[in-house]
Amino acid sequence: MEGHSTYQPKGKLAQWFESRLPIVGLIHSSAVAYPVPKNLNYMWTFGAILTFMLVVQIVSGVVLAMHYVAYAPVAFARVEHIMRDVSYGWLIRYIHANGASMFFIAVYIHIFRGMYYGSYKAPREVLWILGVIIYLLMMATGFMGYVLPWGQMSFWGATVITNLFSAIPVVGPVVVEWLWGGYSVGDPTLNRFFSLHYLLPFMIAGVVGLHIWALHHVGQNNPDGIDVKNVAKDTVPFTPYATIKDIFGMVVFIIFFSWFIFYIPNYLGHSDNYIPANPLSTPAHIVPEWYYLPFYAILRSIPDKLGGVVAMFAAIAILAFLPWLDTSKVRSAKYRPLFKQFFWIFAIVAVGLGYLGAMPAEGGYVIASRILTAYYFIHFLIILPVLGIVERPKPLPASIAEAVLAKGAKGGAAVVTGASAPETRG
Amino acid sequence: MTIRSILFGAAAAVLLASSPALAAGGETPRPERMSWSFAGPFGMYDQGQLQRGFKVFKEVCAACHSANFLYFRNLAQPGGPGFTEAQAKQVASEYQITDGPNDAGDMFQRPGRLSDHWPAPFPNDNAARASNGGALPPDLSVIAKARSYHVGFPGFITDAFIQYQEHGVDYIHALLTGYVDPPADAHVQPGLHYNTYFPGHQIAMPKPISDGQVEYTDGAPQTVEQYSEDVSAFLMWLAEPHLDARKRIGFQVMIFLLVFAGLLYFTKKKVWKNVAH
């Protein structure tokens, strides 16, 4: 998407068209000729995987919407109608339901990859913030989608999450009633959630367009975190090099995805969501979808309701400030020995918060979530700013080409093909 | 090394803090994991078992429980109990279905057809409660997916690898065989019944089935254990009628993807052959 393409159409008609709408040139410059750093590892295939997952979710979702009815008395039965009577409806629904989880697995790997290799640092701050916006939209979309089957967890999850807004001083209760379209979660809530669940993915697609535009403007970061100095020596053209690698990564990811669709389709769901929504019976434990659990743990760790809500949203919002909280000039953790260790501690803390989010909020679990919540914020607000000042980074290679050669030399004689082992490392 | 020790210290603190909570709870024993014919990557329903399970369901469960998503036509569909269409029609015709209104504006009774859903034993929830001591017998259509039990760490991780998805059936089987005399210290409220596997141990459903209650014609033992296994399997089919197709297609998809991934891997290697990276 960068500048004027060097693409020259061969045919007369193609030339006529290109001089009026240079769309083929745009595709050529952004998906064929676009220079890609040579040293990218498989962590960089998740951008393509996420694009693929967005398409999967939209296509399967559009088909599901043809058979679904967003009316509270029949919504649960309509989903079962899809599962039982629609041809391959079970397949489409399991793709969509597990696809949401796969989308989040991929996005978490993508985010942690960005953190590890410092992909948020100048000049990629806007690219990173656009990513945080996509993540927020994904969370909203996923939450509303989970409400649509109108099972017990749908209903009570919606009740708990919408009630968070009642913590807003003065206007809170009014805002919540406005969200519900009534005095509790009910049919109006289901209807608007369905409408928004259909709308938000297209907003995500729009922001993804901006995200890719920004990416292609500033160029990709890479595992060594150094800028491209010489396009001829440091990069390869997107096609065929990145294309084939992305497709391979994608197919491996689809194998993982298929394991869930065909063999353990209900593993990531909650059994209570196969019980029709019942406003008169509260489940013993209300648990959100797994991908919200770390934030749910943060929410519950603060004894004050408003404080908990603020902490939960702050935990997401803080990501947008990451480019300025990390004071180090060096991007990649590869050359930051201290940061590398703190990165992994942070990753363990995030997973730990996820585990605690699934546990009942009582006794030791509460104490543990408080410790981990505190650490989550300390990582961003204290460790990262201080680390940039006190840490002594390792010397950076002069160029990507040099880094690649050094890696090849370390790997022994197999300079050309032996690079696959270190590549797979996170 | 200091960071590592801080990390271990923090992890130990977190574990210590969580341990009281881990020790508490979990009075209800875990259901035994049975070996179901439909478990695992090549699992398929056992038609004989589904037919026996259907008989138990029809003669015992359906007296109080509805199964609103079950249609008579489902009994003859592929991947199910394997009844012929004629047999399914025969089953349907044993029931009287309210239809109408007719041209005179009256509702009327007629024998069931394949397109009818399984008739509910009670006209509405209130009637069901009134006949069952105030408790509502849940609809059984998706009950095998709507029940589960807590597995905990690390079992829930290994379950993803061994493809364990039978929480619900194992629970139902355990529940049906879990009616025992209450321990001396247990206080069972009037109208409730002691069950080892029901959370809280006090269940409104009385012991539903006894040895010899349902007659099997295929020589299978007429015991509570056998009835429970068969009806649990039937309820799994009822909740997941396309499981056979899912696993069959899944295997085909996996074979295709593995071969495709292999070819892509070698193509990728060839493309990148002359580029140091």
Domain that holds residue B51: 36-70+117-263
CA distances from B23 to A286, A366, B149, B152 (A): 21, 15, 17, 12
In a domain, B207, yes or no: yes
Query: How do residues B135-186 score in pLDDT, each as one tens digit?
Result: 999 999 999 999 999 998 899 999 999 999 999 999 999 999 999 999 988 8
CB spacing of A363 vs B257 below 8 angstroms: no
Alpha-helical runs (H) found in A168-320: 172-180, 187-218, 231-234, 243-258, 293-301, 305-317
pLDDT in tens, B207-247: 999 999 999 999 999 999 999 999 999 999 999 999 999 99
pLDDT, chain B, mean: 91
Q: pLDDT by residue for chain A (426 residues), tens digit each?
A: 444 567 888 899 999 999 999 999 999 999 999 999 999 999 999 999 999 999 999 999 999 999 999 999 999 999 999 999 999 999 999 999 999 999 999 999 999 999 999 999 999 999 999 999 999 999 999 999 999 999 999 999 999 999 999 999 999 999 999 999 999 999 999 999 999 999 999 999 999 999 999 999 999 999 999 999 999 999 999 999 999 999 999 999 999 999 999 999 999 999 999 999 999 999 988 999 999 999 999 999 999 999 999 999 999 999 999 999 999 999 999 999 999 999 999 999 999 999 999 998 888 999 999 999 999 999 999 999 999 999 999 999 999 999 998 887 765 444 444 344 444 333
Calculated CA dihedral for residues B190, B195, B196, B202, nearest 10 degrees: -40
| Residue A256 near chain B (CB below 8 Å) | no
- Examine residue B209 and state whether it is found in any structural domain, yes or no: yes
Rounded distance between C-alpha atoms, residue A121 and residue A225, angstroms: 10
pLDDT given at position A361: 86
Dist. CA B68–CA B122, nearest whole Å: 12
Tokens representing A301?
């760790």
> How many Å apart are CA A36 and CA B115, to the nearest integer?
59
Residue A352 with chain B: CB contacts under 8 Å: 14
Q: Which residues does residue B117 pair with via DSSP β-bridges, in sequence order?
A: B71
Are B239 and A274 inside 8 Å of each other by CB? yes
User: Cβ contact (<8 Å) for B3 and A341?
Assistant: yes
Strand partners, B71: B117
Kindly provide the ipTM of the predicted complex, given to two decimals. Answer: 0.90
Tell me if A253 sits within 8 A of A102, measured CB to CB.
Answer: yes
Share of chain B above pLDDT 70, in %: 91
In a domain, B86, yes or no: no
Closest chain B residue by Cα to residue A341? B3
Q: Closest Cα of chain B to A255: distance in Å? A: 6
Query: What CATH number does residue B197 fall under?
Result: 1.10.760.10
Q: Specify the pLDDT at position B73.
A: 97
Q: Is A236 helix (H, G, I), strand (E, B) or coil?
A: strand
Record the pTM: 0.92
Task: Give the residue from chain B lying closest to A87, CA to CA.
Answer: B242
Contact B84, B238 (CB under 8 A): no
Paired tokens of A260: 């869930």
Cα angle value A126/A132/A138 (rounded, 5°): 140
Specify if B221 maps to a domain.
Answer: yes
CA B201, distance to chain mean position in Å, is: 20
Question: Would an 8 Å CB–CB cutoff place A361 in contact with chain B?
Answer: no
The tokens for A374 are 């505190």
CA distance A39 to chain B (A): 5
Give dist(CA A405, CA B273) in Å, integer: 15
Report the percent of chain B where pLDDT is more than 90: 85
CA distance A418 to chain B (A): 9
Question: Which structure tokens are listed for A333?
Answer: 């953790």
A332-361 pLDDT, tens digit per residue, is: 999 999 999 999 999 999 999 999 999 988
Chain B residue whose CA is closest to A369: B14
DSSP assignment letter at B72: G
Q: What CATH number does domain A34-406 carry, 3.30.360.10, 1.20.810.10, 3.40.50.300, 3.40.50.620?
A: 1.20.810.10
Distance in Å, alpha carbon of A46 to nearest chain B alpha carbon: 16
Task: Give the pLDDT confidence score for residue B8 in this predicted structure.
Answer: 53
> Does residue B100 fall inside a structural domain?
no
Whether residue B19 has pLDDT greater than 60 = no
Q: What is the three-state SS of A9-71? A: CCCHHHHHHHCCCCHHHHHHHHHCCCEEECCCCHHHHHHHHHHHHHHHHHHHHHHHHHHCCCC
pLDDT of residue A406: 85
Q: Is residue B201 part of a domain?
A: yes
Among the partner-chain residues B3, B258, B268, the one whose CB lies closest to the CB of A248 is B268
Residue B220 domain-assigned?
A: yes
Binding-site positions of A for a ubiquinone: 216
| Chain A (125-164) residues lying within 8 Å, Cβ to Cβ, of chain B | none
Rg of chain B's alpha carbons, rounded to an integer?
A: 25
Instruction: Please check the confidence at residue B17 and state whether its pLDDT lies above 70.
Output: no
CA distance A301 to B175: 36
Structural contact between residues B37 and B45, judged by C-beta atoms closer than 8 angstroms: yes
- Find the CB nearest A263 among B10, B250, B261: B250
